[in-house]
Amino acid sequence: MTFETDILSVFDKKWALLTAGNKGSFNTMTVSWGGMGTIWGKPVATVYVRTSRYTHEFMDREDYFTVSFFPEDYKKILGVLGSKSGRDMDKMNESGLIAKELKQSVTFEEAEVTLVCKKLFMQRLEPANIIDPNSAKFYEGDAPHDMYIGEIVDIIRKPQKASEQGDELFMEEP
């Protein structure tokens, strides 16, 4: 299987896990807002994390984060990881996902593609600065989002099974 998808809908339709920390201490949560592009001459991924999320503490503490994309059949698990907080549940135990330690961060054995990101920038999306009234409604009685831009320093692809390879070049995980 290849990671071919419409770049404008990859977060919205596929969802992802945003993870920060190391194997001894990390947290992960589901995200569907985000983007990929270029800034300051670097390939980047951008994510938006409400200040109330447990993951926010890890995003502030760590220099790196990962954005991991999963096959469609993991959507139910992503739904759970996006509705309960790591403050209240053991996310790894209950999801059954297997954490995989990287040099700078953590991803999961089951992820088909992981973006390893080095934090470049963060800024609050000040609700008072939101021009569109419909978008401002997201903050009525809810915490603001902080935006984190990370340089994509590595893209890890899960090795394909021989049966899935087809004619394509087989890319081994680095």
Distance of closest approach, residue 174 Cβ to ligand FMN, in angstroms: 27
Residues making contact with ligand FMN (CB under 6 A): 15, 27, 29-33, 48-50, 53-55, 79, 82-87
Distance of closest approach, residue 101 Cβ to ligand FMN, in angstroms: 19
Contacts 24+ apart (CB under 8 A), 38-43: 39/120, 39/149, 40/120, 42/120, 42/151, 42/152, 43/151, 43/152
What would you report as the CA-atom Rg of the chain, rounded to the nearest whole angstrom?
A: 16
Residue nearest to ligand FMN (CB): 82
Contact criterion met (CB below 8 Å) for 31 and 17: yes
Q: Rank residues 48 and 165 by Cβ distance to ligand FMN and give the closer one.
A: 48
Q: Rank residues 16 and 156 by Cβ distance to ligand FMN and give the closer one.
A: 16
Q: Rank residues 140 and 172 by Cβ distance to ligand FMN and give the closer one.
A: 140
